[in-house]
Amino acid sequence: MASRWCELLCPQPKQVASESMHGARLAAQQLSRGRDACDVEAGKPCQEETAAACGGRVAAMASITQQHHSKPTSTFAQSVINMVGMLIGLGQLSTPYALENGGWASIFLLVGLGIMCAYTAHIIGKCLDEEPRSKTYQDIGQQAFGSKGRLIASAFIYLEIFFALVSYTISLSDNIPLVFAGVRLHLPIPWLRLSTTQLLTVIAVLVALPSLWLRNLSSISCLSFAGILMSMVIFVTILCTAAFGSVGLGKHIPVLRLDKIPTVSGLYMFSYAGHIVFPNIYTAMKDPSSFTKVSVTSFSMVALLYTALAFVGASLFGPSVNSQVTLSMPPGLLVTKVALWATVLTPVTKYALEFAPFAIQLEHHLPATMGPRARIIIRGSIGSAGLLIILALALSVPYFQYVLSLTGSLISVAISVIFPCAFYVKIRWGRLSRHVVVLNAAMIAVGFVLAVVGTASSAKLLVKSIQNGHVA
């Protein structure tokens, strides 16, 4: 059923990757046979646009070679669905906490960042207009600043993947003990002391581990449909709590807390991080000239959803609101159980999807003579080892709000604001009006300030929390 929905919502351009003569021949074979499936392990080209549409980041980060595609088929509505699905994620859990900490006036920061990110999505489309061969975020970086631009863009993209996976795992660890309330586990190993929460998290990650061994990228990408459903379920359950729960609206929200704004800005910024996949949404569109309308529509919908969720969550729980709003919901209610399950299941749908770019890079560097089975074993083993490292880090640093804020300030601001403006000005230098140059320079400056101040603040709070945790 999920795959059927994925087919309906996702554009299906027959895009394939080729870098060598062997790859070109494989591409030709695939096009002639009309195959749409992705089979990286067998050395076959990967349908990356489908992965982008269904799976968010995958195609944008996985595209490591030149791409050739037939006629794009994505409509305006499909493109909006894909972009909204990409933007909605962990950020929705933290917006009520961010609003309560920053004050209700900080909602202008949330909306303002949304406007800035909608604009940078628009100029990403303009950059792609300049060079038809550019298909990915990394391509735009190379178009602007050569190989150094590609290298920097790739480095930040993989950092975002890593930190996002750590954040998903922390979220899983925070919510899973509430899902299995009353369960007590222990290991009969004296030297390995893990709490029940840690053991439940380890079990959940081990359950998700086999998904990293999936061979077909198009199958992996459809896992994201479940992730999008989980995000919408969480939003609906919070509204139901406000409407039918025993918790009343009207908790006091402070006007403004300036000292909390640096940390809050990182949480808000993370909520809009999605620009690395926008080039793939653009290239999948039937009418790329409507990409700006897609961006404005998508960011308006997401900003409206985040604003509503922030005010409802903060008004429901006030100062007691947790960094993840699901942790504040009244225990025992059916909607709370549904929200908790949705929050726990979301990471399970994300692991394989987020790791796919690493898998494709690894496949690219393996010897061509290596057999399919050996490729699967190497890729799956490295992916499993990476996930276990992320698990260990998440259990060691279980501070969701600070990790998320650090990610937003250190990485998301660069990818979503600073880099797009810098790429745009560099690529179209000499053809932009003075006002446009000043606007982009101002946005770079604002982004830089948010990055420096937010990173310093969230890093300081994270270190302090770790030290207090060790003392305790």
242 lies in which domain range?
72-471
Q: Which of 417, 394, 331, 400 is nearest to 98 (CA)?
A: 400
Burial-class residue 371 by CB neighbours within 10 Å (0-12, 13-18, 19+).
exposed
pLDDT of residue 435: 95
Q: What is the CATH number of the domain that holds 215?
A: 1.20.1740.10
| Residue 364 belongs to a domain | yes
| Residue 168 belongs to a domain | yes
Give mean pLDDT in consecutive 10-residue pieces for the chain, a chain of 472 residues.
44 35 38 39 41 42 40 82 82 91 95 96 94 88 94 91 90 91 78 84 89 63 66 85 71 89 94 88 89 95 92 89 90 88 83 72 78 82 88 90 93 96 94 95 96 95 83 46
Q: Work out how many domains the chain is built from and give that number.
A: 1
Three-state DSSP class for residue 122: helix
pTM: 0.79
- Backbone angle region of 321, left / alpha / beta, with phi > 0 → left and psi within -120 to 50 → alpha: beta
| Residue 157 belongs to a domain | yes
| Residue 135 belongs to a domain | yes
CA atoms within 13 A on the CB side of 379: 32
Give me the long-range contacts of 130-136 (CB less than 8 A, separation at least 24).
130/427, 130/428, 131/427, 133/66, 134/279, 135/63, 135/67, 135/279, 135/280, 135/283, 136/59, 136/60, 136/61, 136/63, 136/67, 136/279, 136/280
| Residue 64 belongs to a domain | no
pLDDT of residue 363: 73
Contact 7/21 with Cβ under 8 angstroms? no
- CA 63 from chain centre, in angstroms, equals 17
Task: Say how many residues make up the chain.
Answer: 472
Torsion of CA 368, 371, 375, 378, to 10 degrees: -110
Contact 406/414 with Cβ under 8 angstroms? no
| Residue 17 belongs to a domain | no
| Residue 394 belongs to a domain | yes
Beta strand extents in 192-259 (DSSP E only): none
pLDDT of residue 283: 87
pLDDT of residue 66: 37
> Which phi and psi angles does 18 have, rounded to 5°?
-150, 140
- CA 253 from chain centre, in angstroms, equals 29
- How far apart, in whole angstroms, are the C-alpha atoms of residue 427 and residue 117? 19
- How far apart, in whole angstroms, are the C-alpha atoms of residue 39 and residue 365? 16
| Residue 276 belongs to a domain | yes
> Which phi and psi angles does 67 have, rounded to 5°?
-125, 145
